Amino acid sequence: MMNPSLGATSLFQASLAIKWGENRRPYGAGEFFKGLSAQAIDEFESLAVYFCCPAATVLIKGDQDPFSVMFVLDGAVGLRMASYAGKRFILGIAGPGEILGLTSAISGIPAGIEAEARCLCSIALLKREDFLDFLLRYPIASRNVMRELSQQHAQACERLRIVGLTSSAPAKLAQLLLEWCTRGRQTRTGTQIRFLLTHEEVGECIGSSRETVTRALNDFRHRNLVELNGSILTVPSRSALEIYAGIG
């Protein structure tokens, strides 16, 4: 398994790291690239190292010193933290356009958050020093980073609200699904979400057991609040789910 904590050189040279080709400009998603000039994009590409990694690759360990930032170009990366007793809490799933290790890169202090690929992922990596210098040269990138940090803060507050201030596990699960819907795909049959977590991992998102999550999802299906086909979960009516969660 490829682990960046072994150092940037070993990460770049690992046998599973595959450099992108010339068709690698998937910069439509995310805040960072909004408004950047062609010159800035070209410079970013000259600084970045591009690689692919399979599922279960640990991209960032919670206690490692920040030496880089990683931009998710394709795929999904799970973000989690653990208590001193080893209990895990999943913060969410980072998708295309999101930045891994941003808080640590800015502060220079480990954030205690582990990032692990959930599926085959395409990543652009910048060394921390190069990234910070890039922000100094391009003020638009700095403003974009401030927006990204603000969004991450808002998402963290939302997760705390769900876990700490919502009484029942089914309501917590409904609110979690609604949070995921904001980044889902709109179709004629509803909002589609890639359901990449196991029931146990979903329980780690809301502080509940695997059995509780399974029962709640079965109840949601019975109430026609969700449909699950393979790894695709569809929410036919977000307003109905909001009413069920007590926020409609």
Domains, in order of start, for the chain: 4-159 (2.60.120.10), 166-245 (1.10.10.10)
CA distances to 9, 130, 136, 147 from 80, rounded to whole Å, are 25, 26, 30, 22
CA–CA distance, 62 with 183 (Å, rounded to integer): 25
CA angle 120, 13, 136 (to 5 degrees): 85
pLDDT at residue 29 greater than cutoff 90: no
The pLDDT assigned to 89 comes to 83
pLDDT band at 83 (very low <50, low <70, confident <90, very high): low
The pTM is what? 0.76
The pLDDT assigned to 27 comes to 56
CA–CA distance, 200 with 232 (Å, rounded to integer): 17
Q: Which residues are CB-neighbours of 185 under 8 A, at least 6 positions away? A: 191, 192, 193
Q: Are residues 77 and 94 in contact, defined by beta-carbon separation less than 8 angstroms?
A: yes
CA–CA distance, 24 with 208 (Å, rounded to integer): 40
Terminal CA-CA length for the chain: 44
pLDDT at residue 64 greater than cutoff 90: no
Quick one: what percent of the chain has pLDDT higher than 90?
60
Q: Mean pLDDT in the chain? A: 85
pLDDT at residue 224 greater than cutoff 90: yes
> From the CB of residue 150, how many other CB atoms can be counted at a distance below 10 Å?
11
